[in-house]
Amino acid sequence: MHALTKNTAHTVADVSDTLKHARVAAGLTQSEIAKQLDVSRSWISQFERGQTKGVALARILDIAEALGVTISLDYEGAEEQPQGAVLPPETISPKGAVFHVRSGLDLVHQRQTVADAAQVAQPVELPELVEA
């Protein structure tokens, strides 16, 4: 079993708490994020307190995307297969329902969009990858 750390969550309540901290760090109100997601402010409040039941993973990913946060899921067996392999459902079992939550490039703190980040990114030439 993995230890619960700042970047690892084991339950949906842990994920919702982490997303709440990301929202606060981004300086966004519950009303602002609710408007972006077309949900009520009270639903956001309930989600952040872990009081929503049966929240779809798609909704959690929508919230994370709105906050510039990446969520990944680990499954046992997935690392043993070649990249791109499709595993039968019976070979996939959650590793203690572990979610990895991280903020990419601290965009949440800077309140930048991906387009803003792309503008400051410097192009890199990789001649070894260019076909002759």
Q: Where are the beta strands (DSSP E) in 31-92?
A: 69-76
Of the pLDDT bands very low, low, confident and very high (cuts 50, 70, 90), residue 120 is: low
| Sign of the dihedral defined by the CA atoms of residues 101, 116, 36, 109, in that order | positive
pLDDT the model gives residue 33: 93
Please state which architecture CATH assigns to domain 8-120.
Orthogonal Bundle (1.10)
Q: Is the pLDDT of residue 30 over 90?
A: yes
Of the pLDDT bands very low, low, confident and very high (cuts 50, 70, 90), residue 42 is: very high
> Could you tell me the pTM of the whole model?
0.52
Domain ranges across the chain:
8-120
Model confidence over 48-103: pLDDT tens digits?
988 888 888 888 889 988 888 887 766 554 455 455 555 444 444 444 444 445 44
Q: What angle do CA 48, 8, 30 make, to 5 degrees?
A: 20
